[in-house]
Amino acid sequence: MGKLTEIHKKKKDTKKAKRDKGFKDGRRFLSSVTGEYYRSSWEVELIELLTDLGIRFEYENKRFYFRAERESYLPDIYLPDYGVYIEIKGYMDRRSEKRCRLFRKYCGTEYGFFLYMQEERDIILKSPTSLIPFLEVAREECMRRRMS
């Protein structure tokens, strides 16, 4: 395991992630690992962990449109090697809940979906490699949906 995994095992305080209020698109948190800005400290934390684990990712790579519901959704992270989208939520409001539900309804046979919230975060920070089974379950759920 790399240095970042050790940091995450010690429950690094991600609220200390460097913040820059000058960005208009909401990307204010700088990752010292990727050199890129993200929307939250939890995104920085997970992206640095993915990088440490050698898992390829794409950040906010595609917006999905659900025209019948007059809604769109931009998932946080896509993992091309797993075919899984990750949504990072510190707080789940009604609109976010609706978007996640629509994504599963319309895209659940094409992509896996993993909702990263406080409980998942706690587990993964204690044992970073526990992320892998979560991703595999999301991928398997997608395959089951295809078959039904």
Q: Give residue 27's pLDDT.
A: 85
SS3 21: coil
Alpha carbon distance 146, 72 (integer Å): 23
**Among candidates 23, 57, 55, 52, which has minimal Cα distance to 38?**
23
Is the C-alpha dihedral spanning 7, 28, 120, 109 positive or negative?
negative
Per-residue pLDDT at 148: 84
Task: Output the CA–CA distances (angstroms, integers) from residue 1 to 44, 48, 51, 69, 116, in the order listed.
Answer: 19, 13, 12, 44, 22
User: Which has the closest alpha carbon to 12: 53, 55, 41?
Assistant: 41
Number of domains, the chain: 1
Q: What is the C-alpha separation between 1 and 35, in angstroms, rounded?
A: 21
Q: What is the pLDDT of residue 25?
A: 79
Residue 11, pLDDT above cutoff 50: no
- As given in the structure block, the two tokens for residue 18 are 């460097």
Report how far residue 126's alpha carbon sits from residue 121's, in angstroms, rounded to the nearest whole number.
Answer: 9
| pLDDT score at 85 | 98
Position 53: which residue type? L
Residues 6+ apart with CB under 8 A from 107: 64, 113
Q: CATH no. for residue 84?
A: 3.40.960.10
Q: Please tell me the distance from the alpha carbon of residue 119 to that of residue 54, in angstroms, as a whole number.
A: 23
In the predicted model, what is the mean pLDDT of residues 56-75? Answer: 96
For the whole model, what pTM was predicted? 0.84
Q: Which residue segment(s) compose the domain that 118 sits in?
A: 3-147
